[in-house]
Amino acid sequence: MKTLQFDIITIFPGMFTSPLDESLLKKARERGLLEFKTHDLREYSLNKHRKVDDYPFGGGVGMVMNVEPIERAIEAVKRDRPRARTILLSPGGPTLTQEKAWELSREESLILVCGRYEGVDERVRLFCVDEELSIGDYVLAGGEVAALVVIEAVSRLVPGVLGDETSVVEESFSAPLLEYPQYTRPREFKGHEVPEVLVSGDPKKIKEWQRRAALEKTARVRPDLLKKLQLTDGDKAALRQLDLG
C-alpha cells in the first residue's frame, strides 16, 4: 500500500487543522494512505523576534519573505524525506490542471511552501524548490488555501482514497471533457424532467447520451478543451448537430 506524505511549510499551521481532519482526507489519513505534517516557518527564522520577512530591495509596497528560513525549513523536512518534490505555491507559476494532479499523485512525498505578504524572495524559486504552482489567475492573500486545493485535488487520485476508482476516470477533465450532467431523485423538479434515456435501462443508449451531453457541455463552456480531444466520427457528428447559439 502506497502512502503519500504532504509536508506544508507555512506561518499559519492552524489554517490546516480542520480541513485536513474532516471527510475524505481524514479517512485516508486514518487508513495510512495519506500523511500530513505542518511546519511553522517561524521556527526556522534567523531572527530573535521570529521574523520571516523584510523590506523589498528597490522599494515598493509590502514585505517579502526571506529565503533563509524557507531554505532551512525545506532542508529540515528533506533530512527525513530526501526524495520529496518541493513546490512553491505562487500565482506566477503554471496553473494546476487535472493532468498535473495525476502526476503529483504518483509521488511519495510533496513539500508545499506557502507564501504570504507580497510574495517570496526570488531565490526561493531559483535555489530551494523544484517548481512553482498556481491554482488560477487571481491573487490570494497567502499560499495556504492554494496548498489545500492542491492537497485535495491530488489526494483523491491516490489509489484507495476514493472508494470507487471509476469515478475519477469519468469525471471532468479526465477525457479531457467536462463531465455530463448528473441527476438523482426526484425525477421531476419545477417542471424539469430527468432525460428519459437515463431511466430507460439501456446501458448503450445511456453511454451515448452521456458522451453527447459531455461534448455539448464542453463545447458551450470550455471550447478550448475540445482542441486537445481526439474526436471520433460519432463525436464530430454530434457536434455538428449542436446549436451553440
Ligand X SMILES: C[S@@+](CC[C@H](N)C(=O)[O-])C[C@H]1O[C@@H](n2cnc3c(N)ncnc32)[C@H](O)[C@@H]1O
Q: Which residues bind ligand X (CB under 6 A)?
A: 89-92, 114-116, 118-120, 134-136, 138-143, 146
CB of 60 to ligand X, least distance (A): 9
Closest to 89 in 3D by CA, of 138, 146, 139, 36: 146
CB of 131 to ligand X, least distance (A): 12
**Closest CB to ligand X among 120 and 161?**
120
CB of 155 to ligand X, least distance (A): 17
Place of cell 504570504: 116
C-alpha cell at 227: 482542441
CB of 18 to ligand X, least distance (A): 20
Closest to 71 in 3D by CA, of 127, 109, 120: 127
* Rounded-to-integer distance, Cα 100 and Cα 33, Å: 20
**Closest CB to ligand X among 133 and 214?**
133
**Closest CB to ligand X among 25 and 64?**
64
Angle (CA) 95 101 14, round 5°: 85
Closest to 144 in 3D by CA, of 40, 62, 30: 40
Angle (CA) 72 6 82, round 5°: 50
**Closest CB to ligand X among 150 and 157?**
150
**Closest CB to ligand X among 53 and 216?**
53
CB of 227 to ligand X, least distance (A): 24
Which residue's Cβ has the minimum distance to ligand X?
Answer: 115
CA distances from 177 to 105, 164, 181, 218, 239 (A): 20, 20, 12, 6, 13
